[in-house]
Structure 1
Amino acid sequence: MSVTINVRAFIAPDDPEACMRFYEGHSKLLEIYYGIAKITSGNQDWVQHRDTIVVIVEDETGSKTYGGARVQLADGILPLPIETAIGKYDPKIHDYVKKGSAEICGMWNSKEVAGMGIGSLILCRVAVALMSQLPINRVHVLCAPITTRMGRRVGAVIDTSLGNEGTFYYPKDDFIATAMVIEDVDVLSNAEPNERELMFELRKNPVQMRTETGPKGSYDVNYQLKIDNYYAPENA
């Protein structure tokens, strides 16, 4: 697929139209391919939430959405999806998620770009790279079995203090989810060395053009990762 794609980050309420494209694409994917009609990271509350940063993958025109992810900061107003998802199984998640915590959630990519590495490479890397622009010291992520490997690559470890050694049945009884956490977002000591280097490069230069290589070959990515107008949450 010889195209240039745009990967940009913004505060959710600053671009409602892009948020709806994200929401509709994510919902459609979950329902059509996985038979999941409703998950906690799939509701629309985040669209008006100023402590949610959206990462969106678009075509060059900015009108077509190929995927995305969200970074939601704990602010005492909107619960993190992981709280809603596993709170009934392990109530201590609510005390665990305090100011300085965030969650990477709602990650998806369309079948159109499957195999390019958008979800497995680009979105994981970008979401973690963004942490240097935010008042965050701990990041949670609730992973499907296939994405646990991706979490490890960018520095997350299984959070064995939650659930059954970090695992839960979610979002359905035949799906296993794993709670992972990055406790050192500034250092990323558990990340694979090459991934760590790439994430620090994106932190240093959040606006850049790079050629990325995925399973289906190379493509150009226009990164626009500078978050404008963000202010730290006061109510956490």
Structure 2
Amino acid sequence: MIGIRVFRATDDPDACQKYIDGHRRILEIHGVTKITSYKHDWLEDPHTMIILVEDKEQGRVLGGARLQLKRSGISLPIELALFKYDSKILDMVQEAELNGGTSELCGLWNSMEVAGMGIGSYILSRIGAAISSQLPITSIFVLCSPVTVRMGRRVGAVVERTLGNNGLFYYPKDDLIATAMILADCDTLVNADASERELIYDLRATPIQKRVERGPKGQFELNYDILIRRLDYNGVDKK
């Protein structure tokens, strides 16, 4: 049984380490050894939310992502990745933080075992948008690979064409292209596909549920528990 849960990084260090190890293996398979989102300062940041995909019976981590809030004085990975190419990213993030709070969806990966099921692109991106309603943010930045740009658009993110070369950067290697995108309207999702918006609203209304998902490789059952616990402390309550 595959399950997805969301928790603060500080609440489950063991699960975070499994997430890190799995992400590192996938990066190495693709020849990537240096990437800003692979810094681990978020491990001690209660404002970083982990989206974890697990084999519930065997306790194995099959994928995941982070929704990292711009809090606690920690730079977002997109700031660290892009400022040397285009310093406007710093002002853009600062403005978004002042205008309701912002974050970044980063560190997305899935194991080869679940490749082709839509987890690493479609479902993780959808959950990132869904859990934003529980957090003090109104926007989400994301640095997309070419294959995930389409999913970013599906959930309502748009290419930030004022950055780089019309939104494009050579990152994390000179032969790879990354696209800077932002979901600027987390509450309304006005730019999202209608079907995707409906799925996100359903997850917001019922964060604990079981659903049959359909990916390129067919149907599979997925247990969702995306209710973030322990948010009742200063500075993290939803505004």
The TM tier, using the shorter chain, reads over 0.9
Whether the aligned pair in 2 keeps the contact of 1:6 and 1:62 (CA below 8 Å) is: no
Pairing of 1:18-37 with structure 2 (within 5 A): 18-32=15-29, 34-37=30-33
Partner SS, residue 161 of structure 2: coil
1:52 aligns with 2:53: no
Whether the aligned pair in 1 keeps the contact of 2:2 and 2:55 (CA below 8 Å) is: yes
1:191 aligns with 2:188: no
Deviations 1:49-100 (A, max 9, x none): 1110000000123620110010000015111000000011111211211320
Distance 1:65 1:229, change over 3 A: same
**Misfit runs of 4+, over 4 Å:** none
Q: CA RMSD in A?
A: 1.3
The aligned counterpart of 1:181 is 182
Amino acid at match of 2:149: T
Partner SS, residue 155 of structure 1: coil
1:13 aligns with 2:14: no
The aligned counterpart of 2:128 is 127
Amino acid at match of 1:131: S
The aligned counterpart of 1:82 is 78
The aligned counterpart of 1:39 is 35
Partner SS, residue 23 of structure 2: helix
Distance 1:149 1:195, change over 3 A: same
Whether the aligned pair in 2 keeps the contact of 1:168 and 1:176 (CA below 8 Å) is: yes
State the number of aligned residues: 230
Whether the aligned pair in 1 keeps the contact of 2:135 and 2:236 (CA below 8 Å) is: no
1:220 aligns with 2:216: no
Amino acid at match of 1:73: L
Partner SS, residue 187 of structure 1: coil
TM-score by length of 2: 0.93
Which whole-Å CA distance do the structure 2 matches of 1:41 and 1:233 have between them?
Answer: 22
Which whole-Å CA distance do the structure 2 matches of 1:161 and 1:76 have between them?
Answer: 27
Deviations 1:2-28 (A, max 9, x none): xx2110000001000000000000011
Q: Unaligned 5+ residue runs, structure 2? A: none
Structure 1 vs Structure 2: percent identity of aligned residues?
53
Which whole-Å CA distance do the structure 2 matches of 1:14 and 1:61 have between them?
Answer: 21
The aligned counterpart of 2:138 is 137
Whether the aligned pair in 2 keeps the contact of 1:54 and 1:69 (CA below 8 Å) is: yes
Distance 1:86 1:160, change over 3 A: same
- Tell me how far 1:120 sits from its aligned partner: 2.2
Which whole-Å CA distance do the structure 2 matches of 1:44 and 1:61 have between them?
Answer: 28
Which whole-Å CA distance do the structure 1 matches of 2:224 and 2:59 have between them?
Answer: 16
